[in-house]
Amino acid sequence: MPATTKTTSQLLFNGILSENPIFRLALSMCPAVGITTTVMNGLLLGVAVLFVQVFSGCTIAAIKNHIHPRIRIPTYTLTIATWVTVIDLILAAYLPDAYKQMGIFVKLIVAFAIITMRLETFACKNTVKSSFWDGLGMGLGFLLGMMTLGFVRELLGMGTLFGYDVLGVRPLLFFVLPAAGFFCVGFMMAIFNYVELAYNRSKTAKQS
């Protein structure tokens, strides 16, 4: 794949809409299913992933000419692990309250497929600047996906939002369990696909 010709805003929206990591690429499903029991969890993990994605993308884009092609995957993993450790230590030191809630999940970011995939398909072929925007778009897409799932599951499962009681009752207690995460992801994917279909249909209808 040659270096990208997309503009900054195209790169940014690519990650949020047309290549949304959770709903379109269906990558990193474990956190999407396991962690999004509340909006806050989704938000915190999304922010952590955003930082790791941007920093790793920039690092790989900066040193791409020095990476031996045979050991590129170990190098990516090492880069991601380094940034994850840095984020983990900083969170533990300066945001102890947030860390208490999601400390164990932050370390799992090393294994998120979406980050390695972006490094392999994008950052190692593009400049630091476009990698930055791509990472930001992908991270934001992931963040929004996680928050949407958390919103639905927290509201339906616990009747609260951000920990505040909204409904007063718990409509579907089942939604806090991991299995319900799959339902949510499935429905969201269907919605995304439907919107795309409808959009394309209206476009072709206009042209003809």
Residues that bind another protein (CB under 8 A): 37-38, 66-68, 70-71, 74-75, 78-79, 81-82, 85-86, 89-90, 92-94, 96, 104, 157-158, 170, 173, 176-177
Q: Is 7 left (phi over 0), alpha (psi -120 to 50) or beta?
A: beta
Task: Report, in Å, the least distance between residue 169 CB and another protein.
Answer: 12
Q: Other CB atoms closer than 10 Å to residue 75's CB: what's the count?
A: 18
Nearer of residues 27 and 61 to another protein, judged by Cβ: 61
Closer Cβ to another protein, 15 or 157, answer by number: 157
Minimum CB distance to another protein smaller for 21 or for 157: 157
For the CB of residue 51, give the shortest distance to another protein in the complex, in Å.
13
Q: Among all chains, which residue has been given the structure tokens 């919605």? A: 191
- Min dist CB 121 to another protein, Å, is 21
Task: Report in angstroms how near the CB of residue 82 gets to another protein at its nearest.
Answer: 4
Residue 3 or 71 having the CB closest to another protein: 71
58-66 contact pairs (CB < 8 A, 24+): 58/123, 58/128, 58/131, 58/132, 58/135, 59/83, 60/119, 60/123, 60/124, 60/131, 61/123, 61/124, 61/126, 61/127, 61/128, 61/130, 61/131, 61/132, 62/128, 64/123, 64/124, 64/125
